[in-house]
Structure 1
Amino acid sequence: MLAVVVAGWGGGISIYDTSSWTRTCSFTGPFEVHTMAFSPDSARLVFGGLYGLVRLWDCASGQEMFVMEGHNNDVKSVAFSPRGKHIASCSRDKTVRVWDSQTGECHFVLEGHTDSVMSVEYYPSGLWLVSGGSDGTIRFWNSETGELGIVLDSSLGGVYKLAFSPDGRWIASGHVNGRLQLWHAVSGEPGPVLQGHVGGVTGIAFSPECRWFASSSMDKTIRLWDASTGTIITMLSNHTAFVHTVAFSPNGLQIASGGNDNKVRLWDVDSVLMSSVEQQDQLGAVEKTVYSPNGRYILTVSSSQTVKQWSSLKGVSRPIPIELPEYVSVKSVSYSLDGIPTAAVVQDGTLRLWELQEGRREAVLEGSRGANCVIMSPCCRWIVSSDRDDTVTMWDLASAQQMHVLIENGGPTREEIRCLAFSSTGHQLAIGNRSGTIWLFDPQSKDLITSKSTHWGFIEAMSFSPDGQQLAVGAGDRLIYLWGLQSDERAIKLRGHTEVVKCIAYSPCGDRIASGSEDKTVRVWLRRRTPSDTESWSCVSTVHGFFDAVLDIAWSPTVPMDFVTGCGDGSVRVWRVSSDGEDVVVRLLWGTNLAVLHADGVVFKGATGLGPMHRKLLIQCGAIEDSLNLEEVGGLRVEE
């Protein structure tokens, strides 16, 4: 039997039999629970938390057996010895204690750490007890005598979590800065350092056969790694708050995670490993998407500063030859005309332009003062940024006089600069602010072409038509305005989105517009001309299925009916527009980070072949109509 323990603030604990999801035991502790562990036979549960207390409970009766007192600060980790005879605990009081699990008597107080001890684990044979602390050390203790053995000093900072591989070959350490390290458990030699998490590591678990290990983090994600090489396999990102812990099932078929979003999530390992969805290293909301000039690749950047390159046809991740340094803020990405991926980054407060290839060239934009928003012209000649003072500056990389201030301190009304956009040729630049003012500049002459004060609300998104004669504007009033730059006629209004429009893009032919919104949809608009040559636009398709705001859209330059979307849910998706008779159909070609069960409005009737767990999860989501008694589910809110 596999049991899951759910501990909430205030000490509420429930134990579930996962074969039926019935609750077998529930009890409330007198204090906040920080850590817990089952005895090897699953008959007892030890937990610790506030006030330095360690408590042992009987799982069958839900009765407390005894309390172990001695720590004088919060208990951060507890562990049973492999045979269940001893219990180890560690605390913010800088000590490790070893207790008799039958009597509660304290056998040893292990001292040596100079800061909080955050994790304690037994070696699989029981020979060693290992502790890791905020002082950055990992200490091996003889579990029978309490004598100190080797001490490992980590260069990665404070140790938050430790875990042994079941075969005893490796010990994995998770650190405050989000990194992990593998160590040879017998010799203590350091192994590979694993990077990916952007928040402290809160949990580590090896699969029973030692092939994989999983880590959880304050960055709201779980990552699955190859234990033999230290390479990342996939990233799971459905939690909406930091993840407290992660565990493999005894048969290795599932991963369980618990987070600060009050959810326990179950992940099917085979589905994760067999999925064709590419999920590696794309953390957080996807804020920028751009096609290469030949249309073969897509470059994306996420809110966690992760830059990825994808095959536009199959969605396979294509390696970028260089790795960006730490503490670099990626503001924009693009391709040069010869297809070199390029990033505009802020490092040490200075805006820089980097070629993402071996032997990269770097351009430092002198006079820059950081950047809130950055855009590169299609030819990468001009770089425009708005800084924290809402001063808009342009750099001309083909000129000796690089720097030109276009708008100083937000212009006459000192309003926040919200949006920047180049025309497809790079010969026009649009700047929009919070109050609805739009400026048009000529990048070559640096002259102001025109300006327009609108009543549309803040300017959130802009896009030029391919011929540069029209500017599409997404504004705070949820509408899209099509401004004819050579006409005095009123702007055409496109209505349909129910929340703020975040991105707009014209198709290469200029007869279609794709727009994304905080309403979690993409709308495709088609231009039609009447016999009197009057222009009109209508929404011909609405794409649903996103789980957050759609933040960026780009059309393929070589396959005119394909476009890519970047979304706040972490997904990159490529779509194809086609006609089915008189209807316009938008089909998904491929996507990344789509590992979400979304059953809203979907009902399966007469479903067969469902396993008990999947059957109950679908009933809980309201996705199947069945005569199964809901009481059999046991009431646990589980998401897979």
Structure 2
Amino acid sequence: MAGSATACAYSPDGKMLAAGLDEGGLEIYDTNTWRRTYRCLVDHPVLSVAFSPDGRRIVSGSKDGKVQLWDYTNGKEVFVMEGHLRSVNCVAISPCGKQIASASADETVRLWDSKTGKCTFVLKGHTHRVRCVQYSPDGRQLVSGGIDQKIRFWDPETGEPGAVWISSWGAVNRLAFSGDGRWIASGHEKGALQCWHAVSGELGLVLRGHTGNITGVTFSPDSRWIASSSNDVTVRLWDSSAGTLVFMSGSHKANVHNVNFSPNGHQIASGGRDGKVRLWEVDSILSSSIAAYDHPGPVVKTVYSPNGQAILTASGEQNVKQWDSLRGAPKLTNQEISTMSFSPNGLQLAFGTIDSSIYLWDLQSEECTVELKEHTDCVTCVAYSPCGQWIASSSIDKTVRLWSRQQPTSETESWSCIHTVQDFFRHVLTTAWSPTVPMEFVTGCWDESVRVWRVSGKGEDVVVKLVWGTNLAVLHAPGLVLKDVAGLSSTYRRLLVQRGAIDDLLPLERARGLEVEE
């Protein structure tokens, strides 16, 4: 992944992960392979992303105040929804898919019609930046939270305000729905967790104990537990029904950045600034972690593999390790990487490095089987196609390269670069494949443009065509020659002819009596 991920969201089927980048871009990853399948670049940081219930559309919010809806099946931008005066910090799509909610630093929440792109309601009530907004699982309630310490409930059908709670625990940093949709947990600046009834908006529990800013809050899949992390260097496990503290660990020696439940809810993984990743066995409620892993730098990201048997950890120094979640044994050596992605079957891991290389690791043999070298600068994203036979990679070198898995002539795996997309003027930050449209991928560029490409042909006759794009301030069309151009001065004509942009217009210049050099 190029740059830091400012927001991420899973598709409804869990097969895709969309991430917004602070460097300006949107990336989509296949969660089976963790390969990037779609990437697009925009001029402003993408602060929030969300999938529609059917997985066909993605909504994004950016720092320039725009809310954009994308049709992921054909790569077309459906709407650009403008109205916010400041950055859009969070976006959400209703469970029925008919409405979009956006929370902004302009102190408002806006509701949009997903069919027309028109703003239907402007929800006012917050008196400071709104940081988060979420629909209840049944879509009947909308909840928002912000710097003003307010958690507000709204009726999304009428725009009418509901319950309001002003917390004495500082800004609302995190919101999480329980799996059954009955409760909402909020994490606050001053270290408290609060649980709210999702329908009535009434305060149910206040979980006190943390003494620092809440950095993470999440429900277990069965809604029985709440896990939290904080800058007070602790990880805590709470009984969500009784509101009691079940487990606390101060094993980390520095701020804990994040906490996550494993897919089966049996483990908790935490990552801290002390360079440690720790695993906790929930069922046993141990007083100490079952494993502690040394990392070469502060752990800023922990991710479970789809089957929950492995954990990927990343440090701020762009080092990545994979660990066995049961034994705690590292499976891969350190790699200075800029991005990583799993193959669809979960048996291979692709690394993009800062020195322009791509490495494919066999997770069973724990060996690097393929090294791909075509890029000339840092690889910002690698993405496997849903079928696993293609890889799209983007780079600071302003290109996207398409790799194809070759038919094996021996036991050695082979990939080759069969096409290079050079139609970019700035860094290409991200790319992702469409989960529904065969052989279609999206790119995100530093110039704030999002483009969707379609691949056709076979072998050496592969063709990649632009399907649609947004914010295309500059047209880049290699090999295109314009004819019958008029209205240019002699100097500009000569310059464009020399650059190969227009055909030889010297006869036309003579016809107009212009002096030309033979």
- Residue aligned with 2:361, SS: helix
Counterpart for residue 112 of structure 1 = 125
- Residue aligned with 1:163, SS: strand
Q: Take 2:106 and 2:32, find their aligned partners in 1: how far apart are those partners?
A: 40
- Residue aligned with 2:26, SS: strand
Matched AA of 2:346 = M
Cα deviations across residues 265-319 of structure 1 (Å, max 9, x unaligned)? 999x9x7436886447xxxxxxxxxxxxxxxxxxxxxxxxxxxxxxxxxx9xxxx
Counterpart for residue 213 of structure 2 = 199
TM-score scaled by length of structure 1: 0.42
- Residue aligned with 2:282, SS: helix
Q: Does 1:55 align with 2:68?
A: yes
Q: Does 1:273 align with 2:282?
A: yes
Matched AA of 1:619 = W
- Once the two structures are TM-superposed, the CA of residue 226 in structure 1 deviates from its matched residue by 3.8
Distance 1:148 1:62, change over 3 A: same
Cα deviations across residues 454-485 of structure 1 (Å, max 9, x unaligned)? xxxxxxxxxxxxxxxxxxxxxxxxxxxxxxxx
Q: Does 1:178 align with 2:191?
A: yes
Counterpart for residue 42 of structure 1 = 55
Distance 1:21 1:255, change over 3 A: farther
Matching of residues 25-424 of structure 1 within 5 Å = 25-187=38-200, 188-196=202-210, 198-201=212-215, 203-215=216-228, 225-230=238-243, 231=245, 233=247, 243=257, 272-273=281-282, 278-279=287-288
Contact 1:213 1:224 in 2 (8 A): yes
Q: Does 1:613 align with 2:355?
A: no
Distance 1:32 1:256, change over 3 A: farther
Residue ranges of structure 2 left out of the alignment (5+ in a row): 1-12, 298-314, 316-326, 335-343, 351-359, 373-383, 394-518
Contact 1:255 1:266 in 2 (8 A): no
TM-score scaled by length of structure 2: 0.50
Cα deviations across residues 95-149 of structure 1 (Å, max 9, x unaligned)? 1110111221101001111111111111222111111121112111111111111
Distance 1:197 1:8, change over 3 A: farther
Q: How large is the Cα RMSD of the aligned pairs?
A: 4.8
Cα deviations across residues 52-110 of structure 1 (Å, max 9, x unaligned)? 11111233444432211111111111111111111111111111110111221101001
Contact 2:16 2:29 in 1 (8 A): yes
Q: Take 1:60 and 1:240, find their aligned partners in 2: how far apart are those partners?
A: 44
Contact 1:254 1:266 in 2 (8 A): no
Q: Take 1:137 and 1:26, find their aligned partners in 2: how far apart are those partners?
A: 35
Q: Take 2:367 and 2:212, find their aligned partners in 1: how far apart are those partners?
A: 42
Q: Take 1:229 and 1:272, find their aligned partners in 2: how far apart are those partners?
A: 20
- Once the two structures are TM-superposed, the CA of residue 252 in structure 1 deviates from its matched residue by 5.8
Cα deviations across residues 585-608 of structure 1 (Å, max 9, x unaligned)? xxxxxxxxx96747549xxxxxxx
- Once the two structures are TM-superposed, the CA of residue 250 in structure 1 deviates from its matched residue by 7.5
Contact 1:164 1:206 in 2 (8 A): yes
- Once the two structures are TM-superposed, the CA of residue 42 in structure 1 deviates from its matched residue by 2.0
Matched AA of 1:171 = I
Q: Which entry has the higher C-alpha Rg, 1 or 2?
A: 1
Q: Take 1:236 and 1:260, find their aligned partners in 2: how far apart are those partners?
A: 13
Q: Take 1:86 and 1:249, find their aligned partners in 2: how far apart are those partners?
A: 31
Cα deviations across residues 521-565 of structure 1 (Å, max 9, x unaligned)? xxxxxxxxxxxxxxxxxxxxxxxx85579xxxxxxxxxxxxxxxx
Q: Which has the higher contact order (CA 8 A, sep 6+)?
A: 2
- Residue aligned with 1:619, SS: strand
Q: Take 2:31 and 2:266, find their aligned partners in 1: how far apart are those partners?
A: 13
Q: Take 2:273 and 2:60, find their aligned partners in 1: how far apart are those partners?
A: 18
- Residue aligned with 1:52, SS: coil
